[in-house]
Amino acid sequence: MMRAMFLNRLSFIILIALFIQGFIPVPLRAAEQWEGVVVYVLDGDSIKVKVDGRVKVVRLKGIDAPEKGQPHAEEASLFVRHLTLHQPVTLKVFGLDKYERVLAEVTMKDGLNLNQEIVRRGLAWQHIAYSKDKTLRSLEREARDARLGLWAEANPEPPWVWKRRHGK
């Protein structure tokens, strides 16, 4: 009994020490808003944003753009780069994803919602496993009907299927 209490306390102390040292990420409060500038575009659904002097990797919430090597991946990346690089943005932050990227909706200075615009242009899917957003669903349906971007293909393969098939 005493040993179990000692181990519980020791575990707690170790966790606090790891947290303080930064080895355990600080949980974010839902729907925080951050201001920043896009400094790099990783791909069609991930960017780097400088916020308060620190660069954060941001994963666009609710969408999934084609992976490198998939059709339309470069088109999606170029679109995001053209629209966002070196531009001020507002991040509506929802927390961290499993890779510890900041999960956010990104709004441009003119009010354009980047997450929605990528789907509207047919350059990404609504990520149905992580999003029930009705606006994204509607925008994807409209892009499909208009055969925009990746929807010009007969049967585009979603990135989550492509990654599984390629062992990624």
Along the chain (168 residues), what's the average pLDDT of each consecutive run of 10 residues? 56 53 48 94 98 97 96 97 98 94 97 98 94 96 98 94 88
**Architecture of the 28-165 domain:** Beta Barrel (2.40)
Q: Contact 104/48 with Cβ under 8 angstroms?
A: no
pLDDT for position 24: 43
What are the residue boundaries of the structural domains of the chain, listed by start? 28-165
pTM for the complete prediction? 0.81
Which residues belong to the active site? 59, 67, 101
CA-nearest of 95, 83, 58, 115 to 49 is 58
